[in-house]
Amino acid sequence: MDGDRLIYGAEYGLSRRAALGGVALGTTFALAVQPVQAQTMIVTPTDGLTAGAVKVKTKDGKDMDAYRAMPATGQGFGTILVVQEIFGVHAHIADMCRRFAKAGYYAIAPELYFRQGDPKTYTEIPKLVAELVNKVPDAQVMGDLDSAVAFAKGEGKADTAKLGITGFCWGGRIVWMYDAHNPAVKAGVAWYGPLIRPGTELQPKNPIDIVKDLHGPVLGLYGGADTGISQESVEKMREALKTGSAAAQKSRIDVYPDAPHAFNADYRPSYRKDPAEDGWKKALAWFKANGVG
Beta strands in 59-201 (DSSP E): 63-71, 77-83, 106-110, 158-168, 185-191
Q: Which of 57, 109, 51, 118 is nearest to 84 (CA)?
A: 109
**What is the rounded CA–CA span in Å between residue 293 and residue 290?**
8
Of the candidates 92, 181, 215, 261, the residue annotated as catalytic is: 261
The SS3 of residue 207 is helix
| Residues whose CB is less than 8 angstroms from the CB of residue 263 and which lie 6 or more positions away in sequence, other chains included | 192, 223, 256, 270, 271, 272, 275, 276, 279
Q: Is 118 a catalytic site residue?
A: no
Straight-line distance from the first to the last Cα atom of the chain, in angstroms, rounded to the nearest whole number: 41
| Residues whose CB is less than 8 angstroms from the CB of residue 179 and which lie 6 or more positions away in sequence, other chains included | 165, 185, 188, 214, 215, 216, 218, 247
Of the candidates 169, 179, 181, 266, the residue annotated as catalytic is: 169
2 neighbors 92 (Cβ within 8 angstroms):
no
Q: Is 226 a catalytic site residue?
A: yes
Q: Which of 77, 80, 90 is nearest to 41 (CA)?
A: 90
What are the backbone angles phi and psi of residue 250, rounded to the nearest 5°? -90, -5
The neighbour count for residue 171, using CB atoms within 10 Å, is 26
142 neighbors 177 (Cβ within 8 angstroms):
yes
Q: Which of 158, 146, 29 is nearest to 94 (CA)?
A: 29
Give me the helices (H) in 77-157, please: 91-102, 125-131, 138-155
Active site residues: 169, 226, 261
